Amino acid sequence: METSVKTEPEFVSVKTNGIQLRVALAGKGPLVVLVHGWPESWYSWRHQIPALAQAGYRVAAPDVRGYGGSDKPAPIEAYSIKEMCADIAGLIEGLGEREAILIGHDWGAPIVWNTSLFHPQKVRAVAGLSVPFTGRGPAPRIQLFRTIYKDRFFYQIYFQKVGVAEAELEADLRKSLSIVYYGASGEGTKAGVRNVKKGPDAKLLDGMKVPDPLPAWLTEADLDYYVGEFKRSGFRGPLNRYRTSELDFAQLEAVADRRIEQPTAFIAGKLDPVLTFLPGIDLVANMRERVTDLRLVRLIDDAGHWVQQERPAEVNAELLEFLRGLN
């Protein structure tokens, strides 16, 4: 008699790279690690975990360091790209596996892209959502953004001073998170939310509207969960990831000339603002020149930045197509 696959996750604590990560686990089979971005949690993969588990994969979705139930070191340098990649490589070992398929969204995408370079023997294949692989680049990213956005507000520049964005975002977590999620979504983009013109001294939430009602893909219960996680973690660790640009640039020198050799996929919403961060540069075309085995590129109509939450059925179908092709 066949037994049904348990698709609801159980939670375990895994030691890796000197810290503990809380990990949502489900399913049996080849290991797939799902790495979330800012400001999210394992929960941002809630629609993918059961689908991948049911399809015959062992799925692990950690809270990245600084978030939720995982350890939250204070120093900025603890959130450098090399540390984040070492967390994922160690997680694979901590789960008793030699290799894994990595899938990352938002900051999770650069983490999985670069884990495939720093720890290639541990990465069977890699997929990024929302953020294409760009390589090291000609300068630290914050330098590029300060040049491009010198006369106007840009959130990554605003995040640089410790304590400023933390105070704004933590003052009313429900308001802050709802604005951030809506603002980068397909609905928010079509409504022109991101077209608000702000000077370089503005705050993140200035001129931004609280969505009422929430977009259909984000329920009140979903928002409740995220609020609870950020009550636990605060924003210091999550924001520190934006403060390591110069350190990341130095650390990436060791892999700057390497191409991603593993089978690769990229999925994003066509309305994702990330795709226009560097005006005049086609980031997807740029990625094609830096990977050897790009098997799938999918840009989903009307979807924004939170693509796996906004359009879970389509994202799941694309991910499963990519995964099946690895067999």
Catalytic residues: 106, 305
For 204-209, the CB contacts below 8 A with 24+ separation are: 204/155, 204/158, 204/165, 204/168, 204/169, 204/180, 205/168, 205/169, 205/175, 205/176, 205/179, 206/153, 208/179, 208/183, 209/179, 209/182
**Number of residues assigned to the chain:** 327
Residue 107 burial class via C-beta count within 10 angstroms: exposed 0-12, middle 13-18, buried 19 and up: buried
Cα separation of 181 and 299, whole Å?
19
DSSP labels, 23-50: EEEE-SSSEEEEE--TT--GGGGTTHHH
